[in-house]
Amino acid sequence: MTDSFDRVDDLREEPRTDISMGHRMQRFVEALQLRITRRLEGLDPDGAFNVERWSHREGGGGITAVIEDGAVFEKGGVNTSAVRGELPARMAQAFEVEQQPFFATGLSLVIHPRSPHVPTVHANFRYFALGDDLMDPVDQWFGGGADLTPYYPHLEDAQHFHRVWKEVCDTHDDVADYDAFKTACDDYFYLQHRDEARGVGGIFYDYLRDDPEGTFFFSRAAGRRFLESYVPIVERRKDTPVTEAQRAYQEIRRGRYVEFNLVYDRGTKFGLETGGRTESILMSLPAHVQWRYDWAPAPDSPEAHAQWYFAARDWLQLTPDDVPPGTA
Amino acid sequence: MTDSFDRVDDLREEPRTDISMGHRMQRFVEALQLRITRRLEGLDPDGAFNVERWSHREGGGGITAVIEDGAVFEKGGVNTSAVRGELPARMAQAFEVEQQPFFATGLSLVIHPRSPHVPTVHANFRYFALGDDLMDPVDQWFGGGADLTPYYPHLEDAQHFHRVWKEVCDTHDDVADYDAFKTACDDYFYLQHRDEARGVGGIFYDYLRDDPEGTFFFSRAAGRRFLESYVPIVERRKDTPVTEAQRAYQEIRRGRYVEFNLVYDRGTKFGLETGGRTESILMSLPAHVQWRYDWAPAPDSPEAHAQWYFAARDWLQLTPDDVPPGTA
């Protein structure tokens, strides 16, 4: 999977004085969007991303790339945006700063496969700056991460996903810390009202501000490894036969995904509050969802075994002997 | 529809010194729950409410009555609760009071019919008290309301629903004000990120604290009229034939209902934050829901005409000449 994009990206850029970090990050995420959408399209005989540009009412805009009704991917989006505006009062309060201009750019993706045997995945890589002058921001930081939400989980998949992210962090251990980022992911993607993790986690980081050059280098490396973290899992699971009952179970589990995004997710709230484009923000919601009252899996069923995975666990320390039957 | 429950309820109770207002309201909502579930069951040849009692971890509990997979009602709940606990810090802050014990009781219902021609309905009637002694609370207030969310709206239905609530308010105009409550409903059940009303509104009121006896009298009268506001609409629309395309449209519209409840609804947030019973709170979510990216109705279609109704309008002032074709 090495191509010229990889090679360019493996090099640490010299610090630039001609364009801002915000601009460099924007260029990176737009190139990454193209790369990810092309590769995912290559996996889906019926799927093509529909690409649209949109404008923010204050300044900037984004590129929304949405796939719907594919053979492999039922619904998904790989979006980039680069937005300039005045920090909303509530966010200024949350950040404990004065109201002032902000710049935000990033890539955010959510992919909901059609088959319940293929996990849903989410990732984002973003940059935020405060102040009038992007060449010399008052404050700037990076955030991002990736997390995996299987319906019928396998240890093999969870370990593959985490191994890729651990390698990226270990390679950039001047700014990244897998253990801390993994714990932050478990803490963030947690449904308090269900006492349940969204899935098997991954990494999550925010407010990385100490070393912008080093963190940009890490962000690029992480973004570049996304396909490697996910595509082998899709290839391994996409042809497993599916029953109607498995599909219904998938729709119920997707309800938890909707609950997380609408009740807890900061990115969703930030987007809706700052007048972001609703359809781009809510493209993260799955196509078909069910809520049944007080649903619970049958004892000892594959669905009951799956439940064991929706908790914070040290996936890389586990062996096939540690997991419920049929889920290695 | 007059029965002994009605007659008792039409009488204004003498102020009681032997039991608290909280207790009186709890007794009322539990009797109302029985009445509403019985009547709705009578409308649905395949539907029966499943009734469960549950306990709150701090004190009190509730009665959850849920209907699923009926012929007329696809999913719905008519819940009562009476909960005693310590006010959470965030709520004490919102109410601008010290942390102290609270008592809350009420009935909350959401009914999602199977047919897209029958509107979804929501209503609640609740009482809240602060302080150690419920016989002499530091503060107490009533809240409540009812709102209608049609998929294929008709002016006739919106007018019937509003007319009932206007009559109740007009009869109790010492504590109730239809115009103000109707506007509060339009303001509350509004999806900012869609610039769209949840449905055709109804009434909404909160923090009615000036005259507890008079407001209790009004709350009882309002609760008692709920069936009259809704059942005639169900009877009028339930046998209209349904197409697959109408059903898909209904599922997309239900997505807006989920968005409102999870993003904006204070009752949902209060319940989830105070450790309420998740399944009782989220029984308000419909059974089958769809999200499609950037969906919009075809021009001049019935679905496009429906959109006209999802806005704050003075339904009782309108005539059939004012509405889109086919929606009188």
Q: Is the pLDDT of residue A277 over 70?
A: yes
Cα–Cα distance for residue pair A259/B245, rounded to 1 Å: 26
Q: Is the pLDDT of residue B91 over 90?
A: no
What is the per-residue pLDDT for A297? 97
Any alpha helices (H) in chain A, and if so which ranges? 4-10, 21-43, 89-95, 155-171, 178-188, 212-237, 244-259, 266-273, 278-281, 302-307
Q: Point out which residues pair with A80 in neighbouring strands.
A: A63, A107
Average pLDDT over residues A207-212: 95
Nearest residue, CB atoms, B288 vs list A263, A272, A290: A290
What is the per-residue pLDDT for A10? 56
> Which site among B263, B282, B294 would you substitute to test the A interface, given the most A Cβ atoms closer than 10 Å to its Cβ?
B294
Cα–Cα distance for residue pair A89/A239, rounded to 1 Å: 49
Q: Is the pLDDT of residue B1 over 70?
A: no
Convert the pLDDT of each residue in B106-133 to its tens digit. Answer: 999 999 999 999 999 999 999 999 999 9
Average pLDDT over residues B196-203: 98
For residue B174, CA distances in Å to B9, B106, B165, B214, B316 come to: 18, 22, 15, 8, 22
Mean pLDDT, chain B, as a whole number?
A: 93
Q: Is the pLDDT of residue B5 over 70?
A: no
A52-66, A128-142, A168-182, B132-146: least confidently modelled range? A52-66
What is the per-residue pLDDT for B4? 47
Q: Which of B280, B255, B272 is nearest to B120 (CA)?
A: B255
- Sequence spans of domains, chain B: 4-322
Q: Which of B272, B261, B226, B8 is nearest to B124 (CA)?
A: B226
Give the A window 192-231 contacts with B, CB below 8 Å. 192-194
What is the per-residue pLDDT for B87? 86
Q: Which residues of A are catalytic?
A: 122
Cα–Cα distance for residue pair B180/B145, rounded to 1 Å: 12
Decide: B65 and B93 in contact? Cβ < 8 Å: no
CB contact under 8 A, B291 and A262: no
Cα–Cα distance for residue pair B130/B128, rounded to 1 Å: 7
CB contact under 8 A, B258 and A263: no
What is the per-residue pLDDT for A7? 46
Average pLDDT over residues B182-205: 97
What is the per-residue pLDDT for B304? 98
Q: Is the pLDDT of residue A51 over 50?
A: yes
pTM listed for this prediction: 0.92
More confident residue, A147 or B270: A147
Decide: B172 and B221 in contact? Cβ < 8 Å: yes
What is the per-residue pLDDT for B58? 72
State the pLDDT confidence band at A221, using cuts at 50, 70 and 90: very high
Q: Is the pLDDT of residue B8 over 70?
A: no
Angstroms from B118 CA to nearest CA on chain A: 20
What is the per-residue pLDDT for B7? 46
DSSP B98: -
CB contact under 8 A, B285 and A193: no
Q: Which two tokens stand for residue B150?
A: 């049609």
Q: Point out which residues pair with B105 in neighbouring strands.
A: B82, B127
Cα–Cα distance for residue pair A219/A221, rounded to 1 Å: 5
State the pLDDT confidence band at A4, using cuts at 50, 70 and 90: very low
Convert the pLDDT of each residue in A261-273 to its tens digit. Answer: 999 998 888 778 7
Nearest residue, CB atoms, B291 vs list A263, A285, A293: A285
State the pLDDT confidence band at A11, using cuts at 50, 70 and 90: low
Identified catalytic residue from B56, B112, B117, B122: B122
Q: Is the pLDDT of residue B276 over 90?
A: no
Task: Give A271's contacts (C-beta < 8 A, 6+ positions apart).
Answer: A277, A280, A281
State the pLDDT confidence band at A176, using cuts at 50, 70 and 90: very high
CATH superfamily of B4-322: Coproporphyrinogen III oxidase, aerobic (3.40.1500.10)
More confident residue, B81 or A9: B81
Nearest residue, CB atoms, A291 vs list B259, B282, B294: B282
Give the A window 233-252 contacts with B, CB below 8 Å. 251
E-state strands within B41-119: 50-55, 60-68, 73-86, 101-113
Q: Which two tokens stand for residue A17?
A: 């004085």
Average pLDDT over residues A83-102: 87
Average pLDDT over residues A9-38: 87
What is the per-residue pLDDT for A35? 97
Residue A75 is inside which H or E element, if any?
Answer: strand A73-86
Q: Is the pLDDT of residue B2 over 60?
A: no
Cα–Cα distance for residue pair A289/A306, rounded to 1 Å: 18
Q: Which of A245, A202, A222 is nearest to A142 (CA)?
A: A222
Cα–Cα distance for residue pair A88/A269, rounded to 1 Å: 12
Any alpha helices (H) in chain B, and if so which ranges? 4-10, 21-43, 89-95, 155-171, 178-188, 212-237, 244-259, 266-273, 278-281, 302-307
Q: Which of A107, A24, A102, A123 is nearest to A63 (CA)?
A: A107
Q: Is the pLDDT of residue B237 over 80?
A: yes
Share of chain B above pLDDT 90, in %: 81
What is the per-residue pLDDT for A183? 98
What is the per-residue pLDDT for B308? 98
State the pLDDT confidence band at A1, using cuts at 50, 70 and 90: very low
Q: Is the pLDDT of residue A17 over 90?
A: no
| Burial category of B134 from C-beta neighbours within 10 Å (exposed 0-12, middle 13-18, buried 19 and up) | middle
